[in-house]
Structure 1
Amino acid sequence: MGKEKVRLLASLLFIVSLSLIVSACFNFKKDINSEDKKNLKVIQMDGTFAVDVDDPNETVGDADYVFIGRVDEDVDTLYKDPVTIETSDGAKEVSIPYTNYQVTVLPG
């Protein structure tokens, strides 16, 4: 009877562990429609660069690949790398937005 209990306990622990691993690896995609995008809070981010990004000659000289194009459409925005932080109002999840665009490459 003792070995049967140990096997049952080991089996249950294995199933629970496997369930936790599978659920932790599952990617929950947040789908935000255009109406919700209008209500999102905008946070300005600044970067520091080794070149003057306002000078096209320096920017092109620093780049590996360059093309001239036109942005036709804002396709969607994905929110990656979510992190839960503590604020004065309680826990809050923040993530980094990545916006995908439909682009037309123009002849140059």
Structure 2
Amino acid sequence: MAATLALSAVAPGAQSSAQNAQTAEGAAVAIAPNSAALAAASANIHEFAKHKLTMPVLGIGGAGSLRPIVGEALRHVATNVQAVEIQGAGHWVAQEQPDAVTDALLKFLAPAR
């Protein structure tokens, strides 16, 4: 059984939102790349939605960040989506709650063993 995982990721060395928001200049810089990324993601979702994935897909989001968006976005491109909300985590889910992320991954992957 094939499985697809969707996790939040940030390029190594990237500044956090809090670091960027410390100055007006930093806030503008933080918003601009995200706007371009959102436009690209929107175009990708429309293209991917033409042929939805049928294998199990796991979306993991932090309760303080993307939790509702992860499942909703994935349902546009996949038919068999499991969305997990990790309590006590924001955007950096794997770093903030590594045990909860590991548990979610193990439960999702258990049928494939």
Q: Same fold (TM over 0.5)?
A: no
Question: Where is the strand percentage greater, Structure 1 or Structure 2?
Answer: 1
| Bigger radius of gyration | 1
Question: Where is the helix percentage greater, Structure 1 or Structure 2?
Answer: 2
With CA pairs under 8 Å and 6+ residues apart, which has the higher RCO, 1 or 2? Answer: 2
TM-score, normalising length: structure 1: 0.25
